[in-house]
Chains A and B, each alone.
Chain A
Amino acid sequence: MGNNDIHYNNISDLASKLYQKQISPVELTQAYLKRIESFDDTLRSFITVVKEDAISRAKEMEKTIHSGNYIGPLHGIPIAVKDIIFTRGILTTAGSKILSTHMPKEDSSIIDNLMKSGAILIGKLNLSEFAIGGTTVHPYGTPRNPWNTDHTPGGSSSGSGVAVAGGLCAGALGSDTLGSIRGPSSYCGIVGLRPTYGRVSRQGVIPMSWSLDTIGPMTRTVKDCAILLRAIAGPDRRDYSSKAIGVPDYLKQINGGIQGLKIAIPKEMFEFEGLNHEIRDAVFDAITIFETLGASLTNVSLPMSVRSGAIGVSIADVEASSFHIDNLRSRGYEYDWNTRNRLETAALMPANLYIKAQRVRSIIRQELDDILTTNDIIITPTSPVLPPIVEKSTGLPGGLYQGDADMGRRRFISPAALAGLPAISIPCGFSDSGLPIGLQLIAKAFNEELLFKTGYSYERETEWHSSHPDI
């Protein structure tokens, strides 16, 4: 598949072509629909494709562009969203049999925002059941990594990662409770941002964990990620956790460079014995590029991050089990085996240990805040391992918990989530076997702008974002 094909164009390039009427929203939407029809039987990234609605919306957007009422860079752009986001009159399953006929009566706030930006909703994306992760049997098909379909795309925003990497939509929304955007972004070779907690409304999104859930963009480039975040971010009276903090024009400063940027390198991540050596090398190569671009480097320590996997799981799963308790009692057999196991385990967690986890969370947050007082960015690999093959990524129904492997992986993505900080995963290489590798950048709360500027500076020096899977 050639890299100049329209389906792999960046949103920013597509926006320019749409504005100049070199292509039409209808042509673009049809191109993605054709891709979905051709490849999604194998990739299983979509649960629902809204073909007729998308074409109808594309015609409407075409009219408004042609009448001179161009809204902005998402006007006429086909976007897909994770199937936990409420869409009026469109099936919203959360990847579960339990919600196999669930039709929301209202759009979520972020869908409202997307529509205001002129985007075209093309479909609803597959995920780990209820965004909980580790699903063994996906009721709507097992999502496959487009770089190698024997391998997992990661979870829980699996379909979002697959559809963006495979050129089945221009960009997607996912959700990140403890890494569910960053993990699949790293495994699929795309850019994914977990925004600051409170930056993007959670209204109309099926919760996993009230105190950790965030919604964010997954795209093929950093600039596209900035465009999509600007469209969905902002205060929302319908979400109590939403913060009344203005949303900057992220593209304004994105070319500014990183001269003088202070980057912190936490030893606990890079000295972790389970860190794949190809990943370590790729991230160190990236660090060298940052240094060449004018950044200074400092070695730091995040001692409590070593326990962040267990802390994150303790908090997220306990909150999730509280949300699901009625269904666990009456319809437990309808859950995936592993989802049920996680939820039932959490339902039995002693309350004092949940509170202990929240207190340790305070320490983890303080450790990150302290480092970000004297540094601008923390860099880590996004994942210590390459995408596992599908069967090994989920285990088998009835299997025992692979505790060490799970906790090891989680220590990389949990700290930012527990601290409510923004974090972005950016492609930084490939393994010898051709699987993508991602690096993670973490910044101070509400400083997504710096993540974009730093990520874009790196992207300009490298070609990883221009590589696409041959599907």
Chain B
Amino acid sequence: MVVMIEMNTDQIYQLAQLVGIKLDDQRAEAILSKLKTVLDELNLIPDDVLNGVEPDSTFTYQGEEVDG
């Protein structure tokens, strides 16, 4: 199931406060716009395709010897 996230600038201000970033209205709107786009894209990927998939951030290449 794909869930689209509802967000508004009040939530952006709250999150920014937690992170320690001060915003003005123009930047809060711009952040909201970008964050929505990225989150909507990510949410188009159904969670069930990720069953059994681990996060990948370091690489071991085919044929490479690994210790341990």
Contact = CB atoms under 8 A, between A and B. Distances in A.
Given A332-B21, A348-B15, A444-B62, A307 B34 contact: no
Interface string B3-36: 0000000001001100111110011011101110
B42 A357 contact: yes
A361 B42 contact: no
B42 A314 contact: yes
B37 to A, nearest CB: 3
B56 A398 contact: no
Given A309-B41, A347-B19, A445 B31 contact: no
A3 interface: no
B39 A353 contact: yes
Interface residues of B, number: 36
Contacts of A314: 38, 42
A349 B35 contact: yes
Interface of A: 196-198, 211, 241, 243, 245, 304, 307, 309-311, 313-315, 325, 328-329, 332, 340-342, 344-345, 347-349, 353, 355-363, 365, 369, 398-401, 403, 407, 420, 444-446
21 contacts: A198-B59, A245-B64, A307-B42, A309-B41, A310-B37, A311-B42, A329-B20, A329-B21, A341-B30, A344-B27, A345-B35, A348-B15, A349-B38, A353-B42, A360-B42, A360-B45, A362-B53, A363-B53, A398-B30, A400-B33, A407-B37
The 5 A-B pairs with the shortest beta carbon distances in the complex, nearest first, are: A358-B55, A310-B41, A403-B37, A362-B56, A401-B34
Interface of B: 12, 15-16, 19-23, 26-27, 29-31, 33-35, 37-39, 41-42, 44-45, 47, 49-50, 53-59, 61-62, 64
